[in-house]
């Protein structure tokens, strides 16, 4: 299968400075085969990208797909009250089919707002994987493990990792995932680390999201959450550390001394909505720790639109440092593309537009009132654009959405199913 993209302005996200140029892109099967000024070639499909900017698909480094059902459900509460009195009672009643439809809705929402890869952790992941397969998204998935029902989740992780992880053309990769330092005892975390080593895969965990969590870990183990993980050899394997708000200079030194592979997933809107705090992204990046952007699950965040996260991330850092130059639009774009790919260990496959990389591309329609004039295209994307400016999405060389229409998917049916589940569970 060959696809040719013509008339495109490309933002390739390769260098330290933005590089925007007019070029054609030839896609062969799932990879970018050639980028050139003008390509003449017999192809199966041509896409005219006039008035569009083509850039790498956005990478959402921390999600809980099946939580779409919680949109607007018992909002504006304190975290523990929200979890214990709103979220957990409904989660207890979620059936496998519910996980499938809820995840399906999230996959569609992400694709329609320009996300081509996500990193998901939850339970019932076999049903989330079905939704990911149907929609065409690229994803890392993990069964979230706490101190109960460990064996079953470990077995599922092993079974699905063997099914997906060795195939270089698979869109799905399976990680291990101890839920968080406060919800996993040392034995549970050790089991997950050993499993990640056995399967030669990564580990996804929440870390230092709230002050309360910091206190629990300190009271229980006499150390910071980062030290707790280091002492359990977590940093021997590639890691995605979600949130990373309460990380001290000593913790940063631990991460650096371990030369960690992976990095931090920053979830600015979730951190704001739950009043968790502000991740010091500027300091982490200064210390050469990879930072990607994530949404977290619906409920703690409001949409899965990464453009919203990009804006919020930029504004939070500017306020946090009281320094408007501390982070620039292009830095934020890197965090949602190539640096996100580094956090997930996928930087050799996705995150930039380069020959040989997988063809995960988004086309942003630029001839719009709120994107006019184009004094600075990167600033326009980060500060002025939104998810509905994404016109076309290609994942793994396949057009998944064009002219904002999903190919081969009935969006209405998915919404109907999720509304039915919400009516049953979220009274």
Binding site for Zn ion (CB under 5 A): 296
> Least distance from C-beta 63 to Zn ion, angstroms?
8
For helices 96-112 and 411-425, what crossing angle results, to 10°? 130
> Least distance from C-beta 267 to Zn ion, angstroms?
7
Nearest residue to Zn ion by CB is: 296
> Least distance from C-beta 363 to Zn ion, angstroms?
30
Q: Which is nearer to Zn ion, 179 or 365 (CB)?
A: 179
Q: Which is nearer to Zn ion, 87 or 393 (CB)?
A: 87
Q: Which is nearer to Zn ion, 136 or 297 (CB)?
A: 297
Q: Which is nearer to Zn ion, 24 or 296 (CB)?
A: 296
> Least distance from C-beta 262 to Zn ion, angstroms?
16
CB 141 within 8 A of CB 199: no
C-alpha radius of gyration, the chain, whole number? 21
Strand partners, 265: 242, 292
For helices 150-164 and 125-135, what crossing angle results, to 10°? 30
Q: Which is nearer to Zn ion, 212 or 348 (CB)?
A: 212
Residue 257: is it exposed, middle or buried by C-beta count within 10 angstroms (0-12/13-18/19+)?
A: exposed
> Least distance from C-beta 64 to Zn ion, angstroms?
6
Q: Which of 169, 133, 172, 174 is nearest to 31 (CA)?
A: 169
> Least distance from C-beta 297 to Zn ion, angstroms?
6
3-state secondary structure 240-296: EEEECCCCCHHHHHHHHHCCCCEEEEECHHHHHHCCCCCCCHHHHHHCCCCEEECCC
Q: Which is nearer to Zn ion, 213 or 331 (CB)?
A: 213
Q: State which H helix or E strand residue 61 sits in.
A: strand 58-63
């Amino acid at each position: 299968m060959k696809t040719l993209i013509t008339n495109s302005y490309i933002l390739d996200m390769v260098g330290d400075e933005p590089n925007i140029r007019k070029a054609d892109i030839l896609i062969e099967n799932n990879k970018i085969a050639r980028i050139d000024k003008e390509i003449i070639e017999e192809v199966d499909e041509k896409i005219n990208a006039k008035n569009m900017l083509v850039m790498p698909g956005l990478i959402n480094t921390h999600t809980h797909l099946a939580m779409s059902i919680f949109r607007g459900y018992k909002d504006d509460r304190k975290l523990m009250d929200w979890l214990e009195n709103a979220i957990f009672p409904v989660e207890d009643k979620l059936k496998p089919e519910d996980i499938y439809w809820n995840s399906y809705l999230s996959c569609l929402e992400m694709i329609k707002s320009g996300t081509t890869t996500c990193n998901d952790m939850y339970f019932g992941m076999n049903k989330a994987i079905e939704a990911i397969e149907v929609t065409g998204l690229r994803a890392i998935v993990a069964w979230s493990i706490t101190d109960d029902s460990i064996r079953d989740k470990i077995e599922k992780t092993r079974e699905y990792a063997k099914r997906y992880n060795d195939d270089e053309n698979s869109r799905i990769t399976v990680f291990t995932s101890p839920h968080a330092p406060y919800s996993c005892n040392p034995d549970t975390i050790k089991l997950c680390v050993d499993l990640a080593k056995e399967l030669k895969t990564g580990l996804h965990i929440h870390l230092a999201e709230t002050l309360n969590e910091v206190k629990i870990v300190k009271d229980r183990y006499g150390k910071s959450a980062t030290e707790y993980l280091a002492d359990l050899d977590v940093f021997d394997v590639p890691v995605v550390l979600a949130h990373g708000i309460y990380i001290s200079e000593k913790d940063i030194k631990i991460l650096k001394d371990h030369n960690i592979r992976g990095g931090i997933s920053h979830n600015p809107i979730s951190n704001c909505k739950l009043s968790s705090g502000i991740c010091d992204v500027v300091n982490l990046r200064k210390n050469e720790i990879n930072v990607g952007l994530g949404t977290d699950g619906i409920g703690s965040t409001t949409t899965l639109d990464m453009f919203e996260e990009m804006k919020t991330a930029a504004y939070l850092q500017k306020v946090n440092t009281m320094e408007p130059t501390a982070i620039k639009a292009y830095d934020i774009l890197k965090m949602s593309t190539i640096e996100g790919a580094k956090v997930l260990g996928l930087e050799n496959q996705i995150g930039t537009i380069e020959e040989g990389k997988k063809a995960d591309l988004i086309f942003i329609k630029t001839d719009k009132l709120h994107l006019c004039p184009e004094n600075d295209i990167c600033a326009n994307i980060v500060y002025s654009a939104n998810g509905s400016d994404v016109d076309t999405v290609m994942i793994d060389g396949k057009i998944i959405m064009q002219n904002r229409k999903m190919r081969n998917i009935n969006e209405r049916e998915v919404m109907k199913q999720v509304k039915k589940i919400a009516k049953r569970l979220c009274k």
